[in-house]
Structure 1
């Protein structure tokens, strides 16, 4: 099978996981180019890629280095463009790549408005290319095992689910990049830190939302404009209720990241630093027990980013070769982002909002004090 060529746009904090994923998929993928406004960062990532493969006794070519993604798209041949820049640039850059006929992997959130997400989905379809959103935690072994139980109906009726993300982010974290914590380029703890868990919650509970209500606050981070604590309640069309608690206010360090699913015939809790450990596994059918599932699924990780990027890339590569949709395509990647945007609107209005209503108007900037025209 011919290797697909990749270009990575954005060489900041998360980019090393994309380089790592390409190295782990080196039989099917090759990094052709890297791009960042800071040339030193781009050169460093190109070097990381080459060094990693040489340690495996490979002899890769040094990826080309660009500082302008437009020039990259115009000059450099590649099959797949990876967008790993700040959130506020995702839609613009992904749309440019899609319009150029490139497959795209875009970091979360895929956009900061539902209308931009819809444009990305429509453009990918019109151009006949694949769009994948980097929700890598869907590929964690415990998460995959939970999803299998949901699909097999082992829970019976699913009653509720909870996502708790109790983390710490200090002033130094926000000072590393001025776009962090702004509604125009980032969003708050819900959009940045909690979106993976919100995506998993909706994936397990049924996906189709009915109404959302929320409370938000900024308690100890006055140097950012967005929330540092958020609570969301979601009623799904199937009747299940989802609860989200997310914050970056925990003292003195990250405390908890858990996903809980409650059903009439089953209870599961997944935790660990990046949802990599099964904590509770109880089903009325008795097909397996906690010890069995832990032995098969629990895996140590080296950071909160986990190890799901490599299988996400493998899934994307296979989808391109076979013509099927990637597991986390644009429509799937939009769901968690849209929940958060609806939560922002609900918090500002002080009431529950119907999911999907006024969807073209839902933008992070709505939290700045005045709502967009409806």
Structure 2
């Protein structure tokens, strides 16, 4: 049995606790939060040992893995502490809010010989797994372009739940919080990005970070990528999609979450086989929950002494792409500010 501990008893921690119940050989041993109400509620619901002092929890020799479920701005400090205490780590996305913090997490894990996984669970969705197979088999031929779309709702009440939500120092906006999963998928499927044009803005929510973003990517392979992300969709989550277009194949994964096959056509495929695949995905679009897969993979990584499927480096790459989009948007904003209304250009 591998003993896990959760720090941060907010909304996402409940997904981790549920995943531990479902994963074989995983046991939620302890939880930690400075908010006594949240902590006591979590203790009652899970039966775990409760700590209000993180350092004290790290001193417990029974704990094998720390799951970091706090606001993003705290990830670095908590992860480095856990690594220095010899604990393996599962950290919620984003791995950190800047590249220097991500590097310090990575260095601490290497120095202390501990594993660290970043929670990017969308890679485990059945439709995405099938999409990855088709790419690896070369079924698309030369790919012309890809598209990632997140059209979701995070209303003002969502951001008003806590002062840190929507801030640049502790949280970030729609790219850092929602669309980072889709950016991770693009990197996992298409490889590195070499050029970006972008625009980000805050249209409807009273927050510091962006609630709408659009980016045009050029991958090192020459593939063109388009990203649209918004947390302003009324009245609820509408669409999350991932599309790939190639000379010999087209695939669109969509729905409220990118879990259903909306289009699946390949030059050398049999239509009956395509329809059978679509029906199989529709029967169980989510498969084994992504958080459960992350937990189980960490157990395997510890026992087999290997890297987790989603590494700190993977988390850093997704973070870097978000930051590069922000930088491109800033360049774009600066360029636009030099163009006067009505001026010839």
TM-score, scaled relative to structure 2 = 0.92
What is residue 291 of structure 1 aligned with on the other side? 275
1:250 to 228, 233, 236: 233
Per-residue deviation, 1:351 = 8.0
Per-residue deviation, 1:273 = 2.6
CA distance in structure 2 between the aligned counterparts of 1:312 and 1:147, rounded to whole angstroms: 18
CA distance in structure 1 between the aligned counterparts of 2:85 and 2:210, rounded to whole angstroms: 36
Per-residue deviation, 1:68 = 2.4
What is residue 213 of structure 1 aligned with on the other side? 197
Per-residue deviation, 1:299 = 5.0
1:142-291 equivalences under 5 Å are 142-206=127-191, 208-221=192-205, 223-286=206-269, 289-291=273-275
Task: Give the match's secondary structure for 2:11.
Answer: coil
Task: Say yes or no: does 1:315 pair with 2:315.
Answer: no
- On the 8 A contact 2:241/2:255 being kept in 1, the answer is yes
CA distance in structure 2 between the aligned counterparts of 1:332 and 1:10, rounded to whole angstroms: 23
- On the 8 A contact 2:7/2:32 being kept in 1, the answer is yes
Task: Give the match's secondary structure for 2:28.
Answer: strand
**CA separation of 1:298/1:320 partners in 2, compared to 1, >3 Å: closer, same or farther?**
farther
- On the 8 A contact 1:186/1:192 being kept in 2, the answer is yes
CA distance in structure 1 between the aligned counterparts of 2:268 and 2:295, rounded to whole angstroms: 35
Task: Say yes or no: does 1:340 pair with 2:322.
Answer: yes
CA distance in structure 2 between the aligned counterparts of 1:66 and 1:4, rounded to whole angstroms: 19
- On the 8 A contact 2:26/2:295 being kept in 1, the answer is no
What is residue 355 of structure 1 aligned with on the other side? none
Task: Give the match's secondary structure for 2:253.
Answer: strand
- Could you give the per-residue CA deviations for residues 6-49 of structure 1, whole angstroms, max 9, x where no partner exists? 00011101111100110001x31111100111122223223333
- Could you give the per-residue CA deviations for residues 69-115 of structure 1, whole angstroms, max 9, x where no partner exists? 22211245311000000111111111111111111000000000111
- Could you give the per-residue CA deviations for residues 314-373 of structure 1, whole angstroms, max 9, x where no partner exists? 111111111121110111121111101111111112289xxxxxxxxxxxxxxxxxxxxx
Task: Say yes or no: does 1:78 pair with 2:63.
Answer: yes
- On the 8 A contact 1:158/1:205 being kept in 2, the answer is no
**CA separation of 1:314/1:202 partners in 2, compared to 1, >3 Å: closer, same or farther?**
same
What is residue 362 of structure 1 aligned with on the other side? none
Task: Give the match's secondary structure for 1:327.
Answer: coil
What is residue 24 of structure 1 aligned with on the other side? 22
CA distance in structure 2 between the aligned counterparts of 1:278 and 1:106, rounded to whole angstroms: 29
- On the 8 A contact 1:301/1:307 being kept in 2, the answer is no
- On the 8 A contact 2:127/2:285 being kept in 1, the answer is no
Contiguous gaps of at least 5 residues in structure 1: 50-61, 353-374
Contiguous gaps of at least 5 residues in structure 2: 335-345
Task: Give the match's secondary structure for 1:326.
Answer: coil
**CA separation of 1:121/1:299 partners in 2, compared to 1, >3 Å: closer, same or farther?**
farther
Task: Give the match's secondary structure for 1:193.
Answer: helix
- On the 8 A contact 1:141/1:298 being kept in 2, the answer is no
Task: Say yes or no: does 1:329 pair with 2:311.
Answer: yes
What is residue 8 of structure 1 aligned with on the other side? 6
CA distance in structure 2 between the aligned counterparts of 1:317 and 1:143, rounded to whole angstroms: 23
- Could you give the per-residue CA deviations for residues 134-188 of structure 1, whole angstroms, max 9, x where no partner exists? 0011111111111111112111122221110011111111111111111001111
Per-residue deviation, 1:254 = 1.4
1:39 to 36, 40, 49: 36
- On the 8 A contact 2:126/2:285 being kept in 1, the answer is no
